[in-house]
Chain A
Amino acid sequence: MPEVTQSLAAKIITSNYFLVIIKAAILLILVFYAIFALIIIKQVSSMAKTFVTTISPIFASVAVINAIFALILIVLAVAVL
């Protein structure tokens, strides 16, 4: 019985339809993450303006790097998957 299940799972996973669905799901998650990362930039900017410390610019830089990384990942996912 486990062999049958394994074989069925293998067939489903290696089918093109399944991989297309997974690719779409991955892209959707990455797009949502990119939107979230862009919101974080605005949020950090608002936080750093309201409460200014010596390390506020570091947070702003991390937020920008995170957003750039998220956008690069979308491009990579489209190209590689």
Chain B
Amino acid sequence: MFHAYVENPENLRFEGQSPDEKILLLLRAHPITNIPWIFFSLVFFLVPFFVPRLAAFFGFSLNLIPDTYLLAFLIINYLISLAIAFEGFLYWYFNVTLITAQKIIDIDFEPVLYKGVDLAPLPKIEETDSKTAGIFGTFFNFGNVSVQTAGATVAIEMKNVPKPAIVADLILDWAGVAHQHMRGI
């Protein structure tokens, strides 16, 4: 359910899916890419634990502020922490690439209220390439996979997906099979 690389996933579908269209592969960004929002959310979560000490360090007592106002600040702080975590998780969970026997569907959501869906028919795919870069990318085996279609009308880029070399290879294999099916071989 929360994996970044799932072959033959079940119990999920996408908008516009044909009844006989089977999803072969589900891809998300590698979970390690969630560290930035987890970090910021944790920082906000921990702020109330450090503020009294910081105030005391500067010779300021929080007792001067009415309790109701302190409580309001505390609630706002946790709301921000929660919002960062919820948004971060949503964007990770719903920004997916699905590969079916007929096409590749790349679903992109960006703040605020941006939705982009790129479709590339498998038989039209001519080239795929994968790139792994950086310490994290090399260590955790994730990177970008680009897909070029005939006429270069659509180019799909999957960012930070796990096992990029395998994904690029699988797509090309499935594209070959789809191309043969199309030609009736």
Contacts and interface: CB of A to CB of B under 8 A. Distances in A.
B12 A26 contact: no
Interface size class on chain B is 35 or more
Interface residues of A, number: 38
Contacts of B61: 6
Interface string A44-81: 10110111111100010011001000100100010011
B94 A51 contact: yes
Contact of A26 (B64, B69, B112): B69
B86 A66 contact: yes
B109 A43 contact: yes
16 contacts: A9-B64, A13-B65, A19-B66, A23-B69, A29-B76, A39-B112, A43-B109, A50-B14, A50-B107, A51-B96, A53-B1, A54-B12, A62-B86, A66-B86, A77-B72, A80-B68
Given A39-B113, A81-B69, 20 more contacts: A6-B59, A6-B61, A9-B60, A19-B66, A23-B69, A33-B76, A33-B79, A36-B83, A40-B83, A40-B87, A44-B90, A47-B115, A50-B107, A51-B107, A52-B13, A53-B1, A54-B11, A55-B1, A77-B72, A81-B72
